[in-house]
Amino acid sequence: MKLRPITSFLSLLSLLIVSNGSAQENEDLKTHGHSHYKSHSNVVGHKLIFPSEVPDRIIINLTADPSHSFAVNWRTEQSVDSAFVEVALESHGPELRLPGNSRNILATTQLFENENTRDNEPKVQAAYHSALVDSLEPGKTYVYRVGYGAPNANTWSEWFQIEMPSKDIDEPFSFVYFGDAQNDVKSMWSRVIRKSYKMVPDVDFMLHAGDLINHSESNEEWGEWFYAGSYIHATVPSVMTPGNHEYRDGELSSLWRPQFNLPQNGPILEEMETYYTIDYQNMKLVSFDAEHFDEHPESRKKVMEWLEKTLSSNTSKWITIFMHYPIYSTAKGRDNKELREALKPLIDQYKVDLVLQGHDHTYARGNDLNKDQGKTIVSDVGTIYAVSVSGPKMYESQDQDWMARRGEYTQLFQIITVSKNTIKYQAFTPLGGFYDSFELQKDNYGTKKLINQEVELPLRLKKDLIGE
């Protein structure tokens, strides 16, 4: 009997909360043109899609001069028509806030409304801001924040740290290579990028080989991608090349350039920021837009002239090309013959070291010299090709001569460490399982030796894991 008054009070309180929630929802519809969600999960979903005055989707990208600069992009609602990056040398205490210890850089602002891929998604109006932070010293640690308004206003982000590459180009560095994230990004890919960061918290940058999301114009899916990486995107520089899912009907996603700030040193349509090159320490990185190459044959001559000029003028010890479509695919019926016939002669001629790819939703690593892939040591080896997948969408593969290691139904990320004479490559699962590893050694004459290393996990094939 004593419980009844309490129960009645709770029921009344519940009704009041629901009633107030409905009133708030109606008010939101009048003010914003959309309603705020009631449940916690929907509140998170709302924040993934719609911007506010507070910066979100903050990401830093490598520039063409990564030892002295970095690029940063972020998003707000459209009422923020001008915004800034504030940057300072990192300090042991809060003195970085004192006058004269930091500098402000005015961002370039673009007001934007996207047309979503999927009919059930609302259109989103946003302001995208981008800036180049330059005149930095190699080897120094900096902090930055983005926003606008008074120094103590809540319209600023938190301060983020970034360490610039060393002025010694032979000093070792590491990066993480991801194949397609693409599907269930918030749910299933977040643990992959977070595990990689946990394993190498001092990683220098992250590299994405296309198909970051599934629908090129989906604000919700891009929101999931930024949510999954969270502050990692704002503290570890990224480079990315587009896949076929960043395109629709032959056109690059309208969100690509507003969201990212990549080098504009490509062959044609430089503003695309999809073909570009970066000299990072003693490695030349080349982003090759394989989907654009496939969809726009009229541009291929200029693209190939740019690629040959890029490779022939290289002075770095190591060369890595990253792109979406594989030179050697992992399954029959997925062969990219035109791409291989166009690129393979230049890859061979200029002795490219690594080609990092996605698209096939399986794993494979090897070379095309058809030497005994079972050997621990392979002398005078050529280019190493890798195909990987970091998201949960999985296909099957077929064993082929070029493969030294393959796998199915396994989410992976690769930690690649580059030093003066050695590249160390390691592939891991989200559980931290050690799936593939090799060292590539190169002497001063350019002769390379491959050393395959022992790993803890056996070959993983779908038929053995979940049956036919």
Q: Is the CB of residue 208 less than 8 Å from the CB of residue 239?
A: yes
Nearest CA among 143, 145, 142, 228 for reference residue 183: 228
The Cα 236–Cα 412 span in angstroms is 19
Residue 268's pLDDT is what?
A: 74
| Burial classification of residue 105, based on how many CB atoms lie within 10 Å of its CB (0-12 exposed, 13-18 middle, 19 or more buried) | middle
CA distances from 167 to 162, 171, 296, 320, 397 (A): 15, 8, 39, 21, 43
Adjacent-strand bridge partners of 145 = 86
Residue 347's pLDDT is what?
A: 98
CA distances from 457 to 134, 417, 437, 461 (A): 44, 21, 11, 12
Q: Go through the domains of the chain in sequence order and give each one's CATH number.
A: 56-163 (2.60.40.380), 173-465 (3.60.21.10)
| pLDDT averages per 10-residue partition of the chain, 468 residues | 38 38 41 39 70 97 97 97 96 90 96 78 92 97 97 95 94 98 97 98 97 95 96 98 96 95 85 93 97 94 96 97 97 91 97 98 89 78 96 95 95 97 98 97 93 95 85
Contacts of 53 (CB under 8 A, 6+ apart): 76, 77, 79, 80, 155
Residue 8's pLDDT is what?
A: 40
Longest dimension (CA), the chain: 91
Nearest CA among 181, 312, 294 for reference residue 238: 181
The Cα 119–Cα 133 span in angstroms is 38
Residue 434's pLDDT is what?
A: 98
Residue 332's pLDDT is what?
A: 80
Contacts of 334 (CB under 8 A, 6+ apart): 326, 359, 360
CA distances from 388 to 68, 93, 276, 280, 422 (A): 31, 42, 22, 22, 21
